[in-house]
Amino acid sequence: MSLVTSLIMRQMRVPIIILIMGYAISILGMVLAEGIDDQGNPWHMSFFDAFYFVSFTATTIGFGEIPYTLSNAQRTWALITIYLTVVAWFYSLGKIISLVQDPMFREALKENQFSQQLARIPDTFILICGFGETGHALAQALTERNIHTVIIEENDKIIQTLPLEDFPLVIPGFKGDARDPEKLIQAGLQDKKCAAVIAVTASDETNLKIAVTSKLLHPDICVVCRSELEEFESNMFSFGTDFVVNPFETFANIFAMAMHSPSLHLLYDWLTGVPDTDLTTPIYVKEGHWIICGFGRFGNDLYKQLLKSNVQVTIIDPSEEKREIFLNRPENKNNDFIIGTGFDAHTLTVAGVTKAVGLISGTDNDSNNLSIIMTARELNPDLFIVARHNKKSNEKLFEATQANIIMQPSEIIARKIRTLLVSPLMIAFLNKARNQDPSWANITISRIMGALGDSVPSIWTLHINEKEARALCQVLRLGRVIRVGNLLQNPRQRENQLEAVPLMLKRKQKLLLMPTNDIAIKSGDQILFCGTPGALRSMQWSQNDIHSLNYIMTYEDTHDAFIWRKVQQFIKRSDRRNRPRQKRHIMK
């Protein structure tokens, strides 16, 4: 029992005792008061009658004078009863209702409800700190994959509206400041079921504090942090934060990927996107003269990537200080730095917008970015535009500008963390894919499109172990050979292929990209697949159901039940007896 609950209970003592006393006095009085029965004899109510009479009188129901018409003495006492008990009821009810509505008590009830929801989570959960746009997108993606999440958020309104949102799983929400270690513990940080903490609040400082707290209080937990400033990033890594996600750096890497290999970028986009949305088309980033408006964290990261591909860059930024630093660096000698804001036609013309191939509007102010894009488009309609989009509420405006790439920090972080947590093998796959030649990505894209059609595939990892693939392990132990191609057969109709593509096979430390169908699998392998959700369900059948697997492997249906097995054996035996000897030999 919490302190608040016991305090409330303590305060309920007086109203309840008043009620008991009121009833007791009234009942006793009714029993003692002399009445007359229907034959005119003196008569006293029994305790049963009196309790009945007082009960309906006190609650103002009033059935009347039961069982006999009351005498004047009884009526006098009935009058006292009415005022005594009705007033006692009003007083007690009012008091109890006001106690129940006490804000402290309600808070205690909510906390109680939260810990119950937490206890009801069957396996592991992920604690998300901060329920902004990123947290929301992550909670959606994780719950869709049947991973439980718990939210801690400072804003009361967000926690209150949480149950109204339509998530596939119940998400317990805890109201509290995540900087406070006590609150983090209450939200389940030290719970054995807590598998990971994701710190995605808007402030780097808060995220840092969460990461420190988590690593100290629950050292073997996986901690993922959002960070926008470099000094915080290195600080976070210094005490063992598992992943630090920087939206600008991540985006710059993706941008570089799009520039060097559009097909690889497309592959990345498909494999990390939200399943069941439409597939995107490739983006071709042109090489030539680029203009960057706003030289902050975003502009800087993109500039570094552009520098690598040896294109000419002009930077527009109002800060003199940044210009000094920029021009003093030897690697920047080919490039220009213009003082200005970038949303006036003059500065843009000086920067050479008419001859430029691309423009990056990367200030941290959405109105400025929109204005830059509009002005630049007017001066040069063929510009390739990269827009930085800061606030979700401006989404429609940015869509209307038809910028070629729109960078939204919260979406980028959500995508990165989703990939990290849901399919860790995907990161390894993408890293390996980067080192392949461009035609490899084209072949892979056409394979995925050929097998899956035109919506973003689901990604899953098949672990060949007892827990996730019981039937497979059973058959492998018998020494039989199962190939990757067998996994792709439909357990309902083995001639048909499932709509899935194996992307990578991991055997111990070795990674094999795009395993071919004839590779034999071993126990302990991990295989990364992409495919439709239906293919995933079918594949689970052949992994876990020995009969489905047998059907795929041996072209015959086996039966589990004793009688059926006997019948089958009998049929086989008689088959053998009827068959010519030689033929049997060949069959074997």
Residues near another protein (CB under 8 A) are 1, 3, 5-13, 16-17, 20-21, 24, 27-28, 31, 46-49
What is the largest distance, in Å, between two alpha-carbon atoms of the chain?
121
Between 21 and 93, name the residue whose CB sits nearer to another protein: 21
Name 127's bridge partners.
Answer: 150, 197
Residues 581 and 588: their CA atoms lie apart, in Å, by 11
Query: Cα angle vertex 382, ends 377, 384, to 5°?
Result: 85
DSSP helix/strand/coil, 239:
coil
DSSP helix/strand/coil, 167:
coil
Between 3 and 563, name the residue whose CB sits nearer to another protein: 3
| Nearest to 50, CA basis, from 71, 73, 15, 25 | 25
> What contacts 511, CB < 8 A, 6 or more positions away?
428, 429, 432, 504, 505
Q: Shortest distance, CB of residue 95 to another protein, whole angstroms?
A: 13
Extract the tokens encoding 48.
């049963």
DSSP helix/strand/coil, 522:
coil
Which letter does DSSP use for residue 164 in this model?
Answer: G
Q: Shortest distance, CB of residue 17 to another protein, whole angstroms?
A: 5
Between 106 and 447, name the residue whose CB sits nearer to another protein: 106
| Nearest to 141, CA basis, from 280, 275, 277 | 275
Between 52 and 237, name the residue whose CB sits nearer to another protein: 52
Between 31 and 169, name the residue whose CB sits nearer to another protein: 31
What's CA 211's distance to the chain center, in Å?
A: 19
Q: Shortest distance, CB of residue 49 to another protein, whole angstroms?
A: 7
Q: Shortest distance, CB of residue 9 to another protein, whole angstroms?
A: 3
Query: Cα angle vertex 512, ends 507, 516, to 5°?
Result: 110
Q: Shortest distance, CB of residue 24 to another protein, whole angstroms?
A: 4
Extract the tokens encoding 154.
């400072």
Residue 313 phi/psi, 5-degree rounding, is: -130, 135
Residues 292 and 128: their CA atoms lie apart, in Å, by 34
Q: Shortest distance, CB of residue 27 to another protein, whole angstroms?
A: 7
Name 71's bridge partners.
Answer: none
Q: Shortest distance, CB of residue 561 to another protein, whole angstroms?
A: 53
Between 19 and 359, name the residue whose CB sits nearer to another protein: 19
Residues 242 and 195: their CA atoms lie apart, in Å, by 12
Between 48 and 562, name the residue whose CB sits nearer to another protein: 48
| Nearest to 35, CA basis, from 24, 43, 26 | 43
Q: What share of the chain is helix, strand, coil (3-state, %, to 5)?
A: 55, 15, 30
Extract the tokens encoding 54.
């007082």
Q: Cis before residue 580, ω within 30 degrees of 0?
A: no
CB-based contact 121:148 (threshold 8 Å):
yes
DSSP helix/strand/coil, 117:
helix
CA 401 vs CA 159, 248, 485: distances in Å: 34, 21, 46
Bin 155: left if φ > 0, else alpha if -120 < ψ < 50, else beta: beta
Between 99 and 279, name the residue whose CB sits nearer to another protein: 99
Q: Shortest distance, CB of residue 108 to another protein, whole angstroms?
A: 13
Residues 116 and 156: their CA atoms lie apart, in Å, by 19
| Nearest to 228, CA basis, from 209, 253, 202 | 202
Residues 480 and 126: their CA atoms lie apart, in Å, by 39
Between 26 and 458, name the residue whose CB sits nearer to another protein: 26
Between 32 and 119, name the residue whose CB sits nearer to another protein: 32
Q: Shortest distance, CB of residue 548 to another protein, whole angstroms?
A: 56
Determine which helix (DSSP H) or strand (DSSP E) holds 368, and give its type and residue range. helix 366-379
Q: Shortest distance, CB of residue 111 to another protein, whole angstroms?
A: 16
Between 12 and 553, name the residue whose CB sits nearer to another protein: 12
Between 13 and 346, name the residue whose CB sits nearer to another protein: 13
Between 29 and 135, name the residue whose CB sits nearer to another protein: 29
Q: Shortest distance, CB of residue 160 to another protein, whole angstroms?
A: 28
Q: Shortest distance, CB of residue 78 to another protein, whole angstroms?
A: 19
Q: Shortest distance, CB of residue 186 to another protein, whole angstroms?
A: 19
CA 433 vs CA 243, 257, 445, 485, 535: distances in Å: 21, 11, 12, 22, 24
Between 14 and 571, name the residue whose CB sits nearer to another protein: 14
Q: Shortest distance, CB of residue 52 to another protein, whole angstroms?
A: 9
Between 23 and 303, name the residue whose CB sits nearer to another protein: 23
Residues 525 and 386: their CA atoms lie apart, in Å, by 41
Residues 422 and 149: their CA atoms lie apart, in Å, by 13
Q: Shortest distance, CB of residue 176 to another protein, whole angstroms?
A: 24
